[in-house]
């Protein structure tokens, strides 16, 4: 990660060292760029680090192109949108509330962390071209099975893609993933487009 693209300090993102088992987003980004070699068991064995690595990998893919486009367009990179996405990644890494599964057997107690659900929501962007998920929140008492939950998501869109189509597809993808892998009673999925980013084509760059 270059000096210009360095991840904000975890304290600025409301992230405690324990959320990443003592690591930082900058360390995880460097580890990812090194091909995750040599293998670091403290990172590979940390659920929070795995959520952050997965999100950082997606950010470095499409996000790298966006940063290059911004750099070509302006003397200094406007990384406010990057900070918002990194803030969302930091939030994902926090375990948050425990979300139980609906089990008929009272002796069985299975659950999933709120951070894992946010990571599940973020992963839906893989199926939706032109969308990058930033911050997501679960509004409602997720600790009680059957309570109505509203999902609020902030995203970045890529210029040239149909935003209504991409947002509708993202909602569908998230709803299907949450239905398959959680017992949450989701009443709505609200998506807010915070930024529209443009990626210059090769022809534009040479003109």
Highest-pLDDT range among 57-66, 90-99, 188-197: 188-197
Tell me if 154 sits within 8 A of 121, measured CB to CB.
no
Backbone φ and ψ for 192, nearest 5 degrees, come out as: -115, 125
Name the residue with higher pLDDT: 165 or 47: 165
- pLDDT tens digits along 73-83: 444 445 566 66
How far is residue 133's CA from residue 124's CA, in Å, rounded to a whole number? 8
Sequence-distant (6+) residues with CB within 8 A of 105 are none
Q: Does the global pTM surpass 0.75?
A: no
What is the predicted pLDDT for the residue at 148? 97
- pLDDT tens digits along 127-183: 888 888 888 899 999 999 999 999 999 888 887 778 999 999 999 999 999 999 999
Name the residue with higher pLDDT: 125 or 25: 125
Tell me if 167 sits within 8 A of 116, measured CB to CB.
no
Pairing of strands 148-158, 111-113: unpaired
Name the residue with higher pLDDT: 12 or 105: 105
Torsion of CA 48, 49, 54, 55, to 10 degrees: 70
Please state, for a pLDDT cut of 90, what percent of the chain lies above it: 26
Domains of the chain: 10-206 (3.30.70.1350)
How far is residue 97's CA from residue 115's CA, in Å, rounded to a whole number? 8
How far is residue 129's CA from residue 166's CA, in Å, rounded to a whole number? 7
Q: Tokens standing for 62?
A: 């499409």
Q: Tokens standing for 192?
A: 């807010």
Average confidence score pLDDT of the chain: 76
Pick the closest to residue 132 from 167, 94, 160 (CA basis).
Answer: 167
Give residue 102's region: left, alpha or beta (phi > 0; psi -120 to 50).
Answer: beta
CA-derived radius of gyration, the chain? 18
């Amino acid at each position: 990660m270059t000096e210009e693209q360095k991840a904000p300090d975890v304290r600025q993102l409301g992230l405690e060292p324990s959320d990443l088992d003592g690591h930082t987003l900058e360390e995880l980004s460097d580890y990812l760029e090194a091909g995750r070699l040599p293998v670091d068991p403290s990172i590979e064995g940390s659920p929070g680090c795995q959520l952050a690595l997965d999100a950082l990998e997606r950010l470095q893919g499409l996000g790298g192109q966006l940063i290059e486009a911004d750099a070509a367009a302006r003397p200094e990179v406007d990384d406010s949108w990057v900070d918002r996405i990194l803030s969302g990644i930091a939030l994902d890494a926090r375990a948050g509330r425990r979300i139980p599964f609906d089990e008929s057997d009272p002796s069985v107690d299975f659950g999933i962390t709120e951070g894992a659900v946010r990571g599940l929501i973020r992963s839906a962007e893989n199926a939706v071209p032109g969308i990058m998920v930033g911050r997501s929140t679960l509004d409602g008492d997720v600790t009680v099975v059957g309570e109505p939950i509203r999902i609020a998501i902030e995203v970045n869109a890529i210029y040239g893609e149909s935003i209504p189509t991409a947002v509708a597809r993202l909602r569908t993808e998230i709803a299907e993933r949450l239905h398959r892998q959680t017992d949450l009673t989701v009443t709505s999925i609200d998506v807010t487009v915070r930024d529209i980013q443009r990626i210059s084509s090769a022809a534009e760059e040479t003109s």
